[in-house]
Structure 1
Amino acid sequence: MTRRRVKPEELELWQTVARSIERRAGRELDLSPRSTPRKPQPEPGETPVAPLPRFTIGEKHPSRNESHLPPMSVSDRLAQAPVHMDSKAFGRMKRGKLVPEARIDLHGMTLDQAHPELVRFIMTSQARGLRLVLVITGKGQRHDPYDPMPLRRGVLKQQVPQWLKMAPLGTMVLQVSEAHLRHGGGGAYYVYLRKRR
């Protein structure tokens, strides 16, 4: 963009308009042409804005906080959850040594179809006196890093642990853990049920 010179009659018109406006209290109007802009002074009662820090090209930005970390995955949350069952049995279950007594495959169902099936399965399993059951959700579609729109992938994988914590299932479930590879790995959950009273 090229700068053009201001004609004398345009400058005179500008100065006439500038003189006609109301001035704010405590501020003076600079009508001289090509004056360097002044730094704005904060109004009384306003907090001054801190200037941007200086940096050099290639310099690493200092990290102020860790709030930019992505949210934890379901697998991470389950791995960090406290163990409510016998620790030896939990270790055997995580290594795939305990064999599930029943299984349900929710793979390919919608949320509306899967929720009542899961509730029925867990209630029936506890009524039969079963302790360890396997819930297969599937891993969900692979994440495409070039996808222009973020999609919810693996909705059942995300939702099933939440359902198992909520009523009516929360009182029946003692522990939820990601299954061992021989029982489905990341696409399935071990659900350890409480004893029937």
Structure 2
Amino acid sequence: MAGPPDPRPRPRRRRPLDAEETALWEHVTRSIRPIRPVKRTTLTAEAGGVVEAAAEPAADKPVRLTKAVPVAAKTAPKPPAPPPLAPLEPKLRRRLSRGAEVDARLDLHGMTQAAAHGRLIAFLRGAQGEGHGLVLVITGKGEAMSMLAGEGGRGVLRRLVPQWLGAPELRAIVLGFETAGRGHGGEGALYVRVRRLRGDRP
């Protein structure tokens, strides 16, 4: 005697795909890009089943480019500031007021600004080379006989010479300067202290 029928449904057999259906399926699966790599299944007509393909490699992550930090350029050290001008010593000032003579003197009367500037520099360099410590530079008081036509009127050299003596280019030669005493021209002349070269006698 036969037993009761099996209530479980029988599994359906999968119909194998023909070539056109297989091509359409592969075309659809190629156009889909999964968020995470998953196993791709490929249906083949010959096998009539499902073939598992290897998981697709994950897309390369974009490389973050970092900005190169610029290295601060080394700045050249600033040259040292020239030493300040020094006034005449009181003892030297007293000696000059009593009639002591200077080591050398330069008279700039009647010269143009350009000629006077060049002559002053040459004179001071020569005085330093000779080992002189104190020289006299005569500029004049700006009287009519010392007026420079077309270059600013009276007293031009009297105003310009102190500026030249205080310029950085002469700081290696000039220690200091002051208005001369009456016996050496007063306001129309300047005492100039000359910096001695190394190796000179004090």
TM-score after normalising by structure 1: 0.50
Larger Rg: 2
TM-score after normalising by structure 2: 0.48
Higher relative contact order, structure no. (Cα contacts within 8 Å, ≥ 6 residues apart): 1
